[in-house]
Chains A and B, each alone.
Chain A
């Protein structure tokens, strides 16, 4: 059966959405329900991969809806950056589903149907964000993503979860309603269009005061990119079950944020305009401050998930920096970091969840000597950490390399120093965990009686796959690199010129 590319595009959004119906209908039979989720994710991978081969061959896929909303319509168009995002999200959805079956059952969680259903809606909206053909469409799916992940954050239903949910929703909705919506409407009003255009939509004559203000509104409005001071939602979201933290709060939701930042910078403002705007620099240093401060805060967290959350905030800052440097290498690095960081961070979260299920430990100080109990998990954790830090042989090396080149290109030495310093801090807060797990033994446990007690097989499988992915991406980063450079070309510029 051969589907037309347009239909395939539509299906990528519809398949997870239709899966929701299936999941709700089969709520009484967990096996069938999870079977549906798995099937949907496999179909999604097939669809996204086929679309990838079309894009790789130089094709374009555009899907236009009638002009329902005056001035703007629900349009979809695949461009390389969206391709990166959708590839990462769809592959990791399958892995996460496998992982969460092990985790949710191992943890005896309640309301699992709601969990899987909301998860599928979230993925559907991620696809919508990835393939959005204009700012309007992107904004719509951005909001749907916020709302569909809220029930996942409050999943436990405890007071703490409710509080976390309030902070989560409060910050994300506040920023998006107050700043992003205003920025979108302002753009529409100023430029007369919301379409993504290579080189930006604004007229040359548009006052820099207006565009500069809009840029600020955009960067703050995209709360999912977690630029300080609007980062509190991410640690708050950590009350969610670990698979949610793993896929959504390390990959899908936060990447949706930085993805939007990159898209807006490239297709709404354009590099040329970004370079001359007075506010770009201010925001750039704010992002740099976010990177450093978040790393410092991460060092002080004893709760593993909280430490990872702050690490995510800091890494997101990298991508925002990449976008705001307004150099080709910076954009390239930022785009690649979306993929690289995704694999690294999801591995770390999977490990955190595995440790929680197998040994019920959540605090880092309790994890000494854990390496002997859970060797596979801890090795995976080590590889994931390398990728986040940017050390070979893990994928994160490449993206960080280009980001630093970007900083050098624009002669912003302070930014370069920040990037280097932050990598050092990454080492300081990530590597001690696996090292202590292997090298230091837990005094309280009796020697010689350590038995291997790993997490459920499915979870273990998932985290091994992603850790392996980190290494593969080091030796074989070409697809990601090609897509990232294609993104630059689509936006009317190129790297290395």
Chain B
């Protein structure tokens, strides 16, 4: 066992970190979803490479082969892939709706509009009070 021998895990970790970073750092909602997908994909790799035994083949009974890879992780990851697709699809459709509702998919712009909503609720409820100026300032930033 050496560091290079575990290269598959290095790739997994690398992909995971890239995905995670994108989710955290990017403001664009679509890019965040891309990051999330990469993050999930790293786990798929992890499962698939885990079941692989070097020099082994798919588990089909044949006299030529003695060594078989473990098929179970592969099967499991099929389920996870389906879940991942569903998540991405749902996420994308949410982004579409957000674009319709806010006219933007940039997180900061959405936040400004949310503050605006808060302000309106606040005004309707309490009238322009001392907090009004503060909220208004936030809005104009």
Direct contact of A and B (CB under 8 A): no
List A residues at the B interface (Cβ < 8 Å): none
